[in-house]
Amino acid sequence: MSETPPARRHLSAPKSALPRRLASTGATLLAVMPLAMWLANRSAPLMLGLAVVPFLAAAVAAERGQDLAASLRCLLATPPALALAGFLAWALVTILWSHEPAASLRAWAELVLPVAFALAIACSGRFRPRPGWLRALALALVLACLLAIVELASGLSQRAALGVGKLMGFVFNRPAITALVLAVPTIHGLWNLPGARRADRVLAVLVGLAVAALALRSESASARLGVAVCAICWLLSALRPRLTLAAIGCAFVLTMAMAPVLGVAAHNWLPSIILNRFAVMTGQARIDIWLSFGEVARARPIAGAGFGTSATMERNPVAAEVAPEHRALLAVGHPHDMPLQAWAETGAVGAGLLTLAGLFLLLRLRRLTPSEMAPRLALFAAAFAISVVGHGAWQGWWIAVLGAAILWFGPGTSLRQGEDHG
């Protein structure tokens, strides 16, 4: 074999290193997302969008640009993606009967952009969670949790001194939820690194402790619920994966189906001794909001009131069909329940498509080995639990964080087609 000329070696080496450097830049942007969310609690879509640029550039530099379209077709051909695409298309159609089409279109774009960013990174083929990247994300998670805990303990004196941001404890609710969602693939990845060192597993434990501590210290009842659901489901799915998957699937379908009567059910069946243990906004007031938006869902059961209309539902014509004593709470901005918001805005059609997407995803998880399925199923359950009692369904930061978590799980190489696990 002839030896490569020195001059040619000199020119080709930098070219071959360029895709790696670009991919590392993109991974760094994804790894610092927890810190960005601590600093500005809506910044996740920005970080995800910025990361798209170096990953796509890395694909082009590696001469894989022609594979992007084929990768996209492959990803979009999966049943969960088809169902989700159907929902996005239907949501766009429902804007036709929205009372504020421009605002609804902005809400739709806020949902779609993070989805597109995550798809672009996945299609680039340049993101595979490497040990160094996972360690960087773990350190960013621990640091972000510690910084938030210190600020909460000091009464936000740091932000007051700098004169930035809202001086309210709830500004750390989104960072706490972000830390939980990103911690699941991080802990799983560090614990299962090939030839994992003891330090990696110690770091994984530290991430879990830091996330739990922030959830307990924050004002977010949703974050605390998510941590509890995640830990319980991770343990149960590791022990009895098939049974846990079936239980979560049934709970998911039941919760989606009963969303229009959630407020009625909670009002009639939830004992006051339980309600009294919650803060005002997480107790009776939330049930009253569910009652209000539940009437909207039942008034427009098939097509909904229009995507993105929850923000100003009190001005929607459907408000006239809501009982007078429940109309005032239509002005709160969203129903604090993702299934109910889907029903109120997109009707049975939209809620049905989302349910179908979730079921298809659970069926795909069923084909994973127990060790790979457990953290993914735990994250699914925790994220759904948070969305049932938490923020607005289509907020960009939430969609971006979920997209980033899916990317950090990697391609899932332990998939076993057709294999069941009891």
Those residues with Cβ within 8 angstroms of residue 330's Cβ, 6 or more apart along the chain or in another chain: 292, 293, 296, 313, 314, 316, 319, 322
Question: How much is the pLDDT for 282?
Answer: 56
Encoding tokens for residue 381? 């359950």
Please write down the HEC assignment for all residues of 326-351. Answer: HHHHHHHCCCCCHHHHHHHHHHHHHH
Note the pLDDT tens digit of each residue in 377-400. Answer: 999 999 999 999 887 899 999 999
Gyration radius of the chain's alpha carbons:
23
When the pLDDT of each residue in the chain is averaged and rounded to a whole number, the result is 88
Q: What percent of the chain has pLDDT over 90?
A: 73
Check whether 271 has a pLDDT greater than 70: no
For the packed helices 370-389 and 173-191, what is the interaxial angle rounded to 10 degrees? 180
Note the pLDDT tens digit of each residue in 318-355. Answer: 999 999 988 989 998 889 899 999 999 999 999 999 99
Question: How much is the pLDDT for 167?
Answer: 64
Note the pLDDT tens digit of each residue in 40-93. Answer: 999 999 999 999 999 999 999 887 777 888 899 999 999 999 999 999 999 999
Note the pLDDT tens digit of each residue in 176-211. Answer: 999 999 999 999 999 998 876 889 999 999 999 999
SS3 361: helix
Check whether 280 has a pLDDT greater than 50: no
Residue labelled with tokens 């609690």 = 41
Check whether 13 has a pLDDT greater than 50: no
Mean pLDDT over 405-414 rounds to 79
Check whether 281 has a pLDDT greater than 80: no
Check whether 253 has a pLDDT greater than 50: yes
How far is the CA of 130 from the CAs of 28, 127, 261, 355, in angstroms?
12, 9, 46, 33
Select from 371, 365, 382 the least CA-distant residue to 188: 371
Check whether 1 has a pLDDT greater than 50: no
Check whether 410 has a pLDDT greater than 90: no
Q: What is the number of residues in the chain? A: 422
Check whether 358 has a pLDDT greater than 80: yes
pTM of the model: 0.90
Question: How much is the pLDDT for 407?
Answer: 97
Higher pLDDT, 132 or 275: 132
Question: How much is the pLDDT for 418?
Answer: 37
Higher pLDDT, 420 or 277: 277
Burial of 239 (0-12, 13-18, 19+ CB in 10 A): exposed
Q: Find the angle CA(99)-CA(100)-CA(102) to the nearest 5 degrees.
A: 150
Mean pLDDT over 309-318 rounds to 95
Mean pLDDT over 142-164 rounds to 83
